[in-house]
Structure 1
C-alpha cells in the first residue's frame, strides 16, 4: 500500500475509533451541584440519577466506591470482582469499568478531578504514592473496625463550600485504607529508579501504538535496554516488553467491545499490518482469539 493511501486509511481508522469509543464521563456531568472538582454522594441516589453508568464507560476523574450493601459483579479493565459489604475500590482517569448488581446496592461514591489536590499539595505526584492509585485494578476488603464508613459519612455531611477541609478528610481516608493494603516492596518515592519506572509507564501510555520495543523506551529514558529490563524485572516482576505488550492487549480489549469496528480495522488501529499476527498476539496475551473475546462481551 502506498504511503499516502496507508496514511489515509489510518486517518479513517482513527475516526472510526473515536466514533465507536467507550463513553468518557466528565465530572461536570455527574456532580449535579455545579462543582467541577469533587462530588460525594450515597451510591443508591447516584445510581438512580445516572442509570446509563450501568453500561461500560470510563472517567476523566478519580473515582472511589465503598459498599455498605450489595451483591453482583464489578469489572475494571476486564477483570471481574464480586461485590460485597465493606469493599472499597479506587480508579484513576481512563480506566474502563461496568457494574452488574444482583440487588439494590448502597454505599458511598466519591469522584474528584485530577486538579482537586493541585493547589493543596506541594508534590503533584503525591496521590501516586498510594498503592491503589497505580492504575491497576484492585479491590480492598475492609473490616468494620476500619472506620471507613464513618469517615465517608463525615465527608458526605461536610459543607462543599470548604474544599480544603474536604481535601484533608479525603487524604485521611486514603491513609486509613492504605494500612489495610497488603504491603509490597516499593521503591522510595523520588528514588532514581522509582522515577525511571514511573516515567516508563507514562511513556508506554503515550507511545504504545507506535513504539513496541524496550530499546525505544530505554533511549527516551537515557539508559540501556539491559538496565531497563533489569529494573522492571527486579521491581515489577516483569520484563519491559511484557509491560508494553500488556498495554497493547488492554487497548485491544477496549476496541474489541466497540462492535462498529471489524477485527481487521482494530488490527490496523493498533499498528498490526497483518491481521493474523494480531490474532496470534492477542491469543498469546489473553488465551482467547479476538473473535472469542468479542463474543464473550456481545
Structure 2
C-alpha cells in the first residue's frame, strides 16, 4: 500500500475524544455509518481497533496516510493522532480497549497478542467469516468471562490471518515497544526501571518518557502492573505459600510483598485469595 508522510496543519490543540465511561474497560460496537469522515483527533487513554470489512477511503495515523484495502484493520494506539475519510458505506466493528482490561486479565496470552497487533498501524485481514462471527457475538455479549475469552480468540485469529510484512511494521520500534518485549518475554520480572533502562542502553528518564508517550503510565507503573498480574496468577493457579510467592517475585519477605500488593490493588494477597475461594 502506497504511503506518504506529511506535517499536519498546526492548531492550538488536538481534539481529544473519550468514548468510554470510567468503569467501562472494553467496548465493542458496529461501525457507525454516520462517521464517514473524522477530523484529526486522539483518544483519551485507550486503544482503538477498527475492523473494516467493506468500504473504500483513506486513513491517516500520526502523519502517515494510505488507502484502505478491504478487508482491513486499523490499529490506533493511545495518543495517536488520526483521521479517516470513507467514500462508501461501511460494514465493520470498532473495539475500544483500556489498559486496565489487559492489566486485570490473568491470561498472559492476551497481553502478548495485543503487543503483536500494536506494533503495526494497519493489517489486511483474512479469516473474514470467523472474525465477523466473533465480533457480532462480542457486540451484544454482557458476560465479562465470555467477553475475555472471545476477545482472545479474536486477537489470535487477527494475528493468524496475516503475518505483517516488514513494510507494515513501524521502522523504528520505540523504547516502549522494546521495554514491553522484555517484560513479556523475560522469565522473571525485575522491579527496577534502571535494570530495564540498562538492558535497552538508555536512561531511566528516557524510558519513562517513552512509556508516558504511549500509555500515560510511568515505566515503574508498567512494571508494577506486570508484577501484580504475575502475583495474581501465582496466587490463583498455584498452591505456593505467600512467602514462596514473595521470594519468586523478588521481595525480601512476605510482609514487603503484602504491602506492595495492597498498595497497587487495595487489598492484601490473603484477601485476594479469599475472594477466589
Q: Does 1:66 align with 2:51?
A: yes
Query: How far did 1:197 drift?
Result: 3.0
User: Any conservation in 2 of the 1:62–1:93 contact (CA below 8 Å)?
Assistant: yes
Q: Secondary structure at the match of 2:161?
A: coil
In structure 2, relative to structure 1, the CA distance for the partners of 1:127 and 1:21 (3 Å cut) is farther
C-alpha distance after superposition, 1:116-172 (max 9, x if no partner): 2322226599247642223x42x21123556211111111132x2x12211111111
Q: Secondary structure at the match of 1:99?
A: strand
The answer for the alignment partner of 1:21 in structure 2 is: 13
The answer for the alignment partner of 1:148 in structure 2 is: 131
The answer for the alignment partner of 2:40 in structure 1 is: 56
Query: How far did 1:22 drift?
Result: 1.1
Quote the Cα distance in structure 2 between the aligned partners of 1:196 and 1:75: 21
C-alpha distance after superposition, 1:169-221 (max 9, x if no partner): 11111111111342689xxxxxxxx99931799xxxxxxxxxxxxxxx99982
Quote the Cα distance in structure 1 between the aligned partners of 2:64 and 2:31: 22
Query: How far did 1:87 drift?
Result: 1.0
Q: Does 1:37 align with 2:25?
A: yes
C-alpha distance after superposition, 1:80-133 (max 9, x if no partner): 121233211222211111011112222111112111232222659924764222
Q: Does 1:98 align with 2:74?
A: no
In structure 2, relative to structure 1, the CA distance for the partners of 1:55 and 1:155 (3 Å cut) is same
Q: Secondary structure at the match of 1:140?
A: strand
Greater helix percent: which structure?
A: 1
Match of 1:81 among 66, 74, 86: 66
Alignment map for 1:247-286 (pairs within 5 Å): none
User: Any conservation in 2 of the 1:61–1:92 contact (CA below 8 Å)?
Assistant: yes
User: Any conservation in 2 of the 1:77–1:95 contact (CA below 8 Å)?
Assistant: yes
Equivalent pairs counted in the alignment come to 181
Quote the Cα distance in structure 1 between the aligned partners of 2:24 and 2:50: 19
The answer for the alignment partner of 2:157 in structure 1 is: 176
Quote the Cα distance in structure 1 between the aligned partners of 2:177 and 2:50: 31
User: Any conservation in 1 of the 2:59–2:65 contact (CA below 8 Å)?
Assistant: yes
Match of 1:114 among 99, 111, 115: 99
In structure 2, relative to structure 1, the CA distance for the partners of 1:199 and 1:180 (3 Å cut) is closer
Quote the Cα distance in structure 1 between the aligned partners of 2:83 and 2:19: 17
C-alpha distance after superposition, 1:48-83 (max 9, x if no partner): 3x68x7111111211111112211101111111212
Q: Secondary structure at the match of 1:157?
A: coil
Structure 1 gaps, min length 5: 1-16, 186-193, 202-216, 230-242, 251-298
C-alpha distance after superposition, 1:259-293 (max 9, x if no partner): xxxxxxxxxxxxxxxxxxxxxxxxxxxxxxxxxxx
User: Any conservation in 2 of the 1:27–1:113 contact (CA below 8 Å)?
Assistant: no
